[in-house]
Structure 1
C-alpha cells in the first residue's frame, strides 16, 4: 500500500489504473473482459475530450442519448481517424471489442472457446509464450488489455498538447 501511495504522490493520473489491476485479477473470465473493455472505452473518451475543443458541443458528441461518438465502436473509429491511437493499438482495441461482444452476448463463452483463442492470439500488445512458458488466451487478453490501458492512461497528457482549437476561416 505504501508503494502505491508513493507512486500516486508523483503520478496521480495512475490512480484508476492501479485500482483496476487487482480488480482485473479477481474477476471471472467474463468479468475481466467486461471491466477491461469498459476501462478502455472510458479512456478513449478521455483521449477524445483532451483533443476536442472544450464545451457543450464536444460533450454532446461523446455523452448522452444518441451521442454520435457514444459507442465503443465510434470512439475507437474516431480516435483512429484523428491519429490519437496507433495502428497496432487500433487493431488490439478492435479485438478487445470483439471479445467483449462475444462474452456479453453469448452465455457459454470462455477463454478456451476457439473463437476467443483465435482473437487473443492476434493481440500485438500481449505477452507471448517463450521457452517453456505458455501464455494462454486469458493471459494474452489481460496483458494486452493492461498494456493498452496503461498507454491510454498517459495519452490525454500528450494529446492535450496537440488539441484542436477554434479558428477564423477566410471563407
Structure 2
C-alpha cells in the first residue's frame, strides 16, 4: 500500500513562515532570505507558464541553467509578460540590494545611502497593513513591498495552473500538405 503523500504546502503558509523568519532576522538575513524566496517563486511562476516538457525544467534547474538565477528569472519573467514594470523594478532593486549584502565581506547596512535609496525606490505596497507601519522603517518598507510582489506572483502562478494560461506550442513544420498547429507538445 502506498504511503499518503503530504499535502503540498500552500503559498500563504510559506509566506507566513517566511514573515515569521524575517521578524527575527537582521538586515542581511532579511535581504538574503527574501531574495531566495523570490528566486524560488519566480522559478515556480515561469515553470507553470512554460510548455510542460523536460527542457522547460532544464531551463530553470541544474548546473548552468539559463534561468537558474534571480537575475535571469526576473528578466525572463518580465520578457514573457509575467511581471509588470513595477514588479520587475522592485525585484531588480531587491536583487541589487541582495548583491550588496551577499558580496560585501565588510558588511552592509540599510544605513548606507545607496541601500536606503534603493529601498526608497520600491513601490508602495498594494496590500493594506493592519498596523499601518508598512513604510515606518526601511526594513518594513522592504518587507511590505516585496511581500506584496510575492503575493501577486503567487496569485498569477495559481491562475496559470488553474485556468491553463500557459504558453501554447506554436511550432510549425514546412510541408507541401496543409497541417494543423499542434495543441500539445510532442
TM-score for both structures, normalised by structure 2: 0.78
Identify unmatched segments of 5+ residues in structure 2. 1-8, 127-133, 175-186
Aligned match of 2:18: 20
In structure 1, the residue matched to 2:87 is 89
Note the 1:1-171 alignment, pairs <5 A: 12-106=10-104, 107-126=106-125, 135-160=136-161, 161-167=164-170, 169=172, 171=174
Q: Which has the higher contact order (CA 8 A, sep 6+)?
A: 1
Secondary structure of the residue aligned to 2:23 is helix
Greater helix fraction, Structure 1 or Structure 2: 1
- TM value normalised by structure 1: 0.84
Aligned to 2:3: none
TM-aligned CA deviation for residue 170 of structure 1? 5.1
Gap runs ≥5 in structure 1:
1-10, 128-132
Q: 1:134 and 1:97, CA in 2 relative to 1: closer, same or farther beyond 3 A?
A: closer
1:162: Cα distance to partner?
1.6
Q: Which residue is 1:7 aligned to?
A: none
Name which one, 1 or 2, has greater alpha-carbon Rg. Answer: 2
How many pairs does the alignment contain?
157
Partner Cα distance (2:15, 2:140) in 1 = 18
- Measured against aligned partners, the alpha-carbon deviations of 1:9-56 in whole angstroms (never above 9, x if no partner) come to xx9442211211100111111000011001111000000011001121
Checking the alignment, whether the CA contact within 8 Å between 2:135 and 2:141 is kept in structure 1 is no
Cα RMSD (Å) of the superposition? 2.1
